[in-house]
Amino acid sequence: MTPIDQQLLDYAEMIGVRIEYVDLPDDRDGRYVHDQRLIQLRRGMSTRHHRSVLAHELGHAAFADRPTEFGPVHAKQERRAEEWAALRLVDLDDYRHLEAVHAGHPGAIAVDLGVMRSIVVAFQNVLERLGDTVYVQPRMGAGMWTHREDVA
């Protein structure tokens, strides 16, 4: 178990979410059941798949998401959970190095980071490049970002 895997498990414990391994429908790798404070994960996933799905489901738990049939809300919940996971699984320095090594190819970067491609794509989506500066999670207003990195 890596330190990031332990951090995910510690976070689940801290917020009172149980994790169980079950047989899920073929189209599901995991799900968060808010009323039970429970994450259910598919049995037998690879390490990087497990890590990515667990982090994604913890994202749903962090935002207290409840399933919805309303498309725009569902899409927002999924994007937000994936971005939450990406910001916990991807280290900016590691990403910067691997982006250069793999010419920005998300699949290759994902393999080296030990996560699924969708996590890398989500991480790329929270970056904003303006001129010679990259911002992580930019928001409206001066000085409103999680991290700023000058690049040449």
pLDDT digits (tens, 9 = 90+) for 83-96: 999 999 999 899 98
Query: What kind and span of H or E run contains 150?
Result: strand 147-150
How many C-beta neighbours within 10 Å does residue 91 have?
13
The pLDDT, as a whole number, for residue 112 is: 97
> CA nearest 151: which of 93, 91, 101, 83?
93
Q: Does the domain formed by 1-89 have CATH 1.10.10.2910?
A: yes
pLDDT at 125: 85
pLDDT band at 24 (very low <50, low <70, confident <90, very high): very high
- Give the domain ranges of the chain: 1-89, 91-152
Question: What's the pLDDT score for residue 79?
Answer: 93
Whether the pLDDT of residue 143 is over 70: the answer is no
What is the arithmetic mean of pLDDT over 131-144?
64
Please identify which residue in the block is written with the tokens 């049939």. 69
The pLDDT assigned to 28 comes to 93
Distance, CA of 142 to CA of 130 (rounded, Å): 14
